[in-house]
Amino acid sequence: MGDYRHRLMDYVREEIMPHRFCVGCGCGTVLNAFVNAVEELGLDTKKMVCVSGIGCSSWIPSPYFKSDTLHTTHGRPIAFATGVKIMRPDLTVVVIAGDGDAAGIGGNHLIHAARRNIDLSVFMVNNMIYGMTGGQVAPTTPRGVKTSTTPYKNIEPPFDVADLVASAGASYVARWTTYHVFPLMESMQNAIRRKGFGFIEIVSQCPESYGRRIGLRTATDFLTQFRDVSIRVEKTKDMSEDELKDRIVIGKLRDRERPEFVGELHSLKNEQVEALKQESVA
């Protein structure tokens, strides 16, 4: 077989490919879906800013995606992105970060951005572990799991991050897995198109730092499980909490119109500038 060039290579910093993600890592798939989403939307990458924090998923846009990028401190990409979006509301600002980054250390910024409904797209890659540092327990790790810092068992219940973000006030919330690539890609397009806080929780495989601890040693093992335990949100209406305990609820979880922060901020500012103009003329 050949040595051809992928038709979407223009969107990627080719000189540093192949990327550093582990064999079978979901991050590669998320990058793939993202690039496809951007292409299908017809976005001009010169008008995009991708912001990420610290962790493996944060490497998806930085350094691999070819646009303006901002690789920030751990947990803070949403706060940095807010400053960018406010001063350049014409640019498409996307945040891609992991569960530890966005919902752990960055949890506060996540809920406030959702509350304000800032026009950002945040794609949180949830591999249920702190992967980059070798496999420590995360706020999204299921109960009972033995990780490097819960060597006996994890006694903490995990966050339902998508639920949290929806409750906090986001316009658009969805959850998919790296198995459900086509709907994921479409969801990314919806989140970007929609004015307001668009959040997608992407359940993803980490065979190296997480999978090895729970007997899912390959990407195939993981994706098979994602496929088997996922259940579309439409089908869960009459199901009890107990029945949903070990399932992954996927689909569009929230989609509503709400006032958007950056737009309102600029309106307020424009009103004040106008008022001063009137005063000066008078």
Partner 1 sequence: MALNADKQRYLSRLAGKTFFILGDEACAYGALFAGCDFFAGYPITPASEIAELIANDLPKAGGIYVQMEDELASIAAVIGASWTGSRAMTATSGPGFSLMQENLGYAIMTETPCVLVNVQRSGPSTGQATKPAQGDVMQARWGTHGDHNIIALAPKSAQECLDLMLECFDLADTYRTPVLLLMDGEIGHIRESVTMPSMPAIDHATRKKADAGDEPFGGDDLVPGIVHYGEGRNVHVTGSTHLANGMRDVATPKVHDVLIRRIYRKIEENRDTIVRTESDISPDGRAKIGVIAYGAAARPAYGAVLECREQGQAVDFLRLITIWPFARKQVTEFAKNLDVILVPEMNLGQLSREIERFVDCPVVPVSKIGGIPHTVDEITSAIMEAV
Partner 2 sequence: MIEINDDLCKGCEICISFCPLKVFANSEKLNRKGYYVPVVLDEDACVGCRLCELLCPEFAIIVINE
- Cα–chain-centroid distance for residue 246? 22
Q: Which of 41, 84, 86, 181 binds partner 2 (CB under 8 A)?
A: 181
Helix (H, G, I), strand (E, B) or coil at 52: strand
Instruction: Look at residue 264 and give the partner it binds from partner 2, partner 1, none, a contact being a CB closer than 5 to 8 Å depending on partner kind.
Output: none
Distance CA 24, CA 38 (A): 23
Whether 175 and 183 have beta carbons less than 8 Å apart is answered as no
Listed ranges 29-37, 66-74, 81-89, 107-115: which one lies at the site for partner 2 (CB under 8 A): 29-37
Query: From the CB of 16, what's the least distance to partner 1, in Å?
Result: 8
Asked if 151 is part of the footprint of partner 2 (rule: CB under 8 A), the reply reads: no
Instruction: Give the DSSP H or E segment for 178.
Output: none
Distance CA 112, CA 68 (A): 25
Asked if 185 is part of the footprint of partner 2 (rule: CB under 8 A), the reply reads: yes
Whether 94 and 121 have beta carbons less than 8 Å apart is answered as yes
Q: Which of 224, 267, 270, 272 binds partner 2 (CB under 8 A)?
A: 224
User: Of 67, 66, 131, which is closest to residue 98 (Cα–Cα)?
Assistant: 131
Query: From the CB of 132, what's the least distance to partner 1, in Å?
Result: 13
Listed ranges 16-24, 77-85, 208-216, 251-259: which one lies at the site for partner 2 (CB under 8 A): 16-24
Query: From the CB of 27, what's the least distance to partner 2, in Å?
Result: 7
DSSP state at residue 138: -
16 vs 244, beta carbon nearer partner 1: 16
Asked if 282 is part of the footprint of partner 2 (rule: CB under 8 A), the reply reads: no
Which residue has tokens 């198109």? Answer: 193
Instruction: Look at residue 57 and give the partner it binds from partner 2, partner 1, none, a contact being a CB closer than 5 to 8 Å depending on partner kind.
Output: none
Give residues in contact with partner 1 (CB under 8 A).
Answer: 16, 45-47, 49, 51, 62-63, 66-73, 76, 79-88, 90-91, 108-109, 112, 265-266, 268-269, 271-273, 275-277, 280
Asked if 25 is part of the footprint of partner 2 (rule: CB under 8 A), the reply reads: yes
Peptide bond preceding 63: is omega within 30 degrees of 0, i.e. cis?
Answer: yes
User: Of 205, 228, 226, which is closest to residue 217 (Cα–Cα)?
Assistant: 205
86 vs 181, beta carbon nearer partner 1: 86
Looking at this protein, which amino acid is placed at residue 246? D
Whether 200 and 188 have beta carbons less than 8 Å apart is answered as yes
- End-to-end CA distance of the chain, in Å? 76
DSSP secondary structure string, 160-174? -HHHHHHHHT-SEEE
Asked if 27 is part of the footprint of partner 2 (rule: CB under 8 A), the reply reads: yes
Query: From the CB of 249, what's the least distance to partner 2, in Å?
Result: 21
Asked if 33 is part of the footprint of partner 2 (rule: CB under 8 A), the reply reads: yes
Helix (H, G, I), strand (E, B) or coil at 3: coil
Listed ranges 17-25, 141-149, 190-198, 266-274: which one lies at the site for partner 2 (CB under 8 A): 17-25
Residues contributing to the site for partner 2 (CB under 8 A): 1-4, 6-9, 12, 17-19, 21, 23-29, 31-33, 36, 178-179, 181-182, 185, 218-220, 223-224
